[in-house]
Amino acid sequence: MLQQRIQELARQYAAEFIAVRQHLHAHPELSYQEFETSKFVQEKLRSFGIPFEVKATTGVLGIISGKNPDSRVIALRADMDALPIVEENEVAYKSKNPGVMHACGHDVHTTILLGAAKILQELKHEWEGTIKLLFQPGEERNPGGASYMIREGVLENPRPQGIFGLHVHPGLDLGKLSFRKGRVMASADELYITVKGKGGHAAAPHVTVDTILVAAQLIQSLQQIISRNNNPLSPSVLSICSIQGGHTTNVIPSEVKLMGTFRAMDETWRSRAHELIRNQVKGVAEATGAEIDLHIDIGYPTVDNDPVLTGKGWQLAEAYMGKEQVEETEIRMGAEDFGFYTQVIPGCFYRLGVRNEAKGIIHNVHTPQFDIDERAIETGMGMMAWLGAATVL
């Protein structure tokens, strides 16, 4: 039985791919700088006998052909980049690149896809169709490596009928998976605002344009865009996260810079909110006499899981793991460039449990203490291989 063969191979290769993960974790590279990681992935695929192409400079596209290669096409995706974080874990595989850390689990994702690739290649005479392996760069940085991979044709010739991607979930216990149909992660846009005015002495504000006060008014008024225009049943967040202006107690500065993020779960509302933000900035500028420059850096779209593909993946997960080990995942306002794939073809983005409180493995992603229970790698690579081999649309 194919499922049992996959489970056996995942168990057999677990130690090998834990070592792969530790190597990747110790050698993290920032977004669009994954040159050594890409070479490592290429070497592994070559050793498995899997043909591949380099895409988007550091991305890799591998292709495995099973029986009747034209009968169906499924894509499996992993991201490879790390974050500019100083690791605080004291482990043998601690980052060797100062100031760079795999704090979001992309080393795990890459390892799992490599493990799944080895299993699928070994069993290629036991499953139907073609499987495309997408190792992408730059998930952590606009405009997102997925957009470059798509631009370079990874979803064409042949076109996949669906794509699966996974993410480690430090809030989900080891041995569990979680799925959700429909919108599961938010869009994310970056806001850059510069307030300009006539600076001067704080004791004579009447002869200045108080950029600090204007910035404060703008911050408060931008919140009303969410609270009074968005449907409260559709999650949306606007946060100003940086204020830079002034340097002393008695000088009104001539310039204040703001930075923040806008997130939404609905693409129609997202577009309307951009217009409202621009209008609000224009109105505050006219009311105060300030000059306000606004740049909205358009980021990742909503991750919208296809109901049919996700339903099939969920069922396969229950068959592989047991029904009690598969949960419904929560909506998250975090963003993922996997959303670019779901705009083109049906997609399913699911979560892999890596938490183990007894071992102190409890820290969230994007923190210096993030780590996983590495037994999740066996689960992850077996499950991904099973999704690739067994999904029929």
List the catalytic residues: 81, 139
Paired tokens of 165: 């991607």
Q: Backbone phi, then psi, for 265, in 5-degree steps?
A: -110, 5
Q: Is 201 exposed, middle or buried (0-12, 13-18, 19+ CB in 10 A)?
A: exposed
Asked if 197 contacts 285 with a C-beta cutoff of 8 angstroms, the reply is no
If you count them, how many residues does the chain have? 393
Residue type, 271: S
Asked if 350 contacts 177 with a C-beta cutoff of 8 angstroms, the reply is yes
Q: Is 334 exposed, middle or buried (0-12, 13-18, 19+ CB in 10 A)?
A: middle
The count of other CB atoms within 10 Å of the CB of residue 69 is: 16
**Cα radius of gyration rounded to whole Å, the chain:** 24
Asked if 144 contacts 80 with a C-beta cutoff of 8 angstroms, the reply is no
d(CA 237, CA 78): 27
The count of other CB atoms within 10 Å of the CB of residue 361 is: 18
DSSP state letter for 161: S
d(CA 34, CA 83): 12
Residue 79 β-bridge partners: 136
What is the DSSP secondary-structure string of 56-120?
A: TTTEEEEEEE-BSTTS-EEEEEEE--BBS------STT--SSTT-B--SSHHHHHHHHHHHHHHH
Asked if 351 contacts 345 with a C-beta cutoff of 8 angstroms, the reply is no
d(CA 79, CA 219): 34
